[in-house]
Amino acid sequence: MSVSTKKSPNQRRSRPELIFGDLWAFDPAPETADPKLKSRYDLFINGRFVAPKKAAYFTSINPGNEQPLAEIALAGAADVDDAYQAAARAFPAWSKLPGAERGKYLYRLARLLQDRAREFAVAETLDGGKPIKEARDFDVPMAAAHFFYHAGWADKLAYAFPGAKVAPHGVVGQVIPWNFPLLMLAWKIAPALAAGNTVVLKPAETTSITALKFAEILQEAGLPPGVVNIVAGAGGTGAAVVAHPLAAKVAFTGSTAVGKSIMRSLAGSGKKLTLELGGKAANIVFDDAPLDQAVEGIVNGIFFNQGHVCCAGSRLLVQEGIADAVLTRLKLRVRQLRVGDPLDKNTDIGAINSKAQLDKIRTLVAAGVKEGADLFQPACSLPPKGWYFRPTLFSGVQQSHRIAREEIFGPVLSILTFRTVDEAVEKANNTAYGLSAGVWTDKGSRILKMSTELKAGVVWANTYNKFDPASPFGGYKESGFGREGGKQGLADYVKLS
């Protein structure tokens, strides 16, 4: 007689760490929509795709498997100049167009993006490494929402700024990062066009594809040539975009280091500048918070988009009495996260955007271990090819640790504790950044106090990472200045007199 050594599901349930790993083995569920990629993408200048003057191209890589996706044209200074000349030629007619007519173009861009949403979501996931469920349910719909929202403002500028004479700046130069490529493009282009500006935009080197696919939509929408120009390239191309004499306004989203250098280079030039930079947000959990919801908020706050999020809740501040309970729940929850193929619909954590970013995460995690914080990572398997990093919790973190002060921009949470409300405020504000914060508590009065005292552009209460085109987003201190979204974001794209 053979005796089965297999445990019943109930027996296994007595060991919480095995619940999901053992019983919930999912079959692969890859998204199959065609991203309709070209093998080569040229620059988009004056309404047409044109080869770069120096015929230089670079390869965009899929971080999920390290395979090449497409050749991307690298814009040199002469190409950037062509883009600015085209934008300057387009400006008079575009800015004089009645607002309702500009609104129609924006509306059309939003609808065309919706029509091709699946295709764009797959392209975004392939090029950037984010889970398809995020590209599909967040990035692409939010990008379309920004165009819809600003379509509504285009003919209402006089009502947005009553009593003032409203005029666009002229040509705006825009440089965006790789973490939300299409969405950052929408945040930049939609308000600029609504207000009557024309645009030269540079996407990030590792994620240019959806910007250049968006250029196809610009053509399809019949946008007049030169109103939007897209010049791909590396840091040097970005420097040429911000330094061009025809740029009346520069809008930059990226790292604080590059933001500071842009600010220095533009000092005294008279150009309008807005900067959306890094962050190290405190997500603060009080002992009266609903713990299960808070744990979901913490997980969403740090593991959304692999933690490649400027407003990520990367510093968890937990009230001392509940610190152990929160950590236990977090460990259980983190063990259930699925790390792997970004194209799989069940994936929670996809690929790290680039090898360079993976190295940066590894360096900071090693520093956390060296400085004495306690590291926890689930024992999940990672795909053999591609750049991946396990979701990571650090407990016992001190304010002085690098992992408490520096932006890691990866799936790594630093956990600190506090005793009183004042200590929570002081620790939360003890950072060079000030982009966002989260507060979890049952007490409304405490939410109001915290949101007043926290020096952060956005404070979420009993939730995290909620966005709406009508809600302004931006920072304090080294997280930058200027706002994106809402009437405040629109205000940065107009001159008032």
Which residues are tagged catalytic? Answer: 276, 310
Q: Which stretch binds Mg ion (CB under 5 A): 5-13, 127-135, 143-151, 220-228?
A: 127-135
Among 181, 238, 307, 472, indicate the residue that binds ligand NAP (CB under 6 A): 238
Contact (CB, 8 A) for 168 and 195: yes
| Rounded distance between C-alpha atoms, residue 375 and residue 365, angstroms | 9
Partner from Mg ion, ligand NAP, none contacting 261, C-beta within 5 to 8 A by type? ligand NAP
272 binds ligand NAP (CB under 6 A): no
Residue 415: CB minimum distance to ligand NAP, A: 20
Residue 357: CB minimum distance to Mg ion, A: 11
Among 103, 170, 278, 482, indicate the residue that binds ligand NAP (CB under 6 A): 278
Site map 181..220 versus ligand NAP, x via CB under 6 A: ---------------------x-xx---------------
- Among residue numbers 117 through 156, which ones bind ligand NAP (CB under 6 A)? none
CA proximity to 341, closest of 375, 389, 297, 382: 382
| Rounded distance between C-alpha atoms, residue 223 and residue 198, angstroms | 11
Q: Which residues contact 50 (CB under 8 A, 6 or more apart)?
A: 42, 43, 44, 79, 82
Residue number, 201 or 295, with CB nearest to ligand NAP: 201
Point out the residue whose Cβ comes nearest to ligand NAP. 238
- Among residue numbers 282 through 321, which ones bind ligand NAP (CB under 6 A)? 310
Partner from ligand NAP, Mg ion, none contacting 60, C-beta within 5 to 8 A by type? Mg ion
Partner from Mg ion, ligand NAP, none contacting 168, C-beta within 5 to 8 A by type? none
Residue number, 60 or 319, with CB nearest to Mg ion: 60
Residue 396: CB minimum distance to ligand NAP, A: 25
Q: Which residues contact 432 (CB under 8 A, 6 or more apart)?
A: 256, 280, 405, 477, 478
Q: Which residues contact 194 (CB under 8 A, 6 or more apart)?
A: 99, 102, 103, 106, 150, 151, 153, 154, 157, 490, 493
Partner from Mg ion, ligand NAP, none contacting 205, C-beta within 5 to 8 A by type? ligand NAP
User: Within 13 Å, how many C-alpha atoms sit on residue 88's CB side?
Assistant: 12
Partner from Mg ion, ligand NAP, none contacting 202, C-beta within 5 to 8 A by type? ligand NAP
H/E stretch holding 455 reads none
Count of chain residues binding ligand NAP (CB under 6 A): 29
| Rounded distance between C-alpha atoms, residue 127 and residue 63, angstroms | 7
Residue number, 204 or 289, with CB nearest to ligand NAP: 204
* DSSP string covering 307-350: G--TT---EEEEEGGGHHHHHHHHHHHHHT--BS-TTBTT-SB-
| Rounded distance between C-alpha atoms, residue 313 and residue 435, angstroms | 10
Output the six-digit token pair for 149.
Answer: 């929202």
| Rounded distance between C-alpha atoms, residue 42 and residue 168, angstroms | 29
Among 74, 175, 327, 428, indicate the residue that binds ligand NAP (CB under 6 A): 175
| Rounded distance between C-alpha atoms, residue 347 and residue 363, angstroms | 25
239 binds ligand NAP (CB under 6 A): yes
56 binds ligand NAP (CB under 6 A): no
Q: Which stretch binds Mg ion (CB under 5 A): 43-51, 122-130, 219-227, 373-381?
A: 122-130
Number of Cβ within a 10 Å radius of residue 11 = 10
Site map 464..493 versus ligand NAP, x via CB under 6 A: -----------x----x-------------
Give phi and psi for 257, each to the nearest 5: -60, -50
Q: How far apart are the first and last CA of the chain?
A: 92
For binding to ligand NAP (CB under 6 A), which residues are involved? 175-179, 202, 204-205, 234-235, 238-239, 242, 253-255, 258, 261-262, 276-279, 310, 407, 409, 435, 475, 480
For binding to Mg ion (CB under 5 A), which residues are involved? 60-61, 127, 206
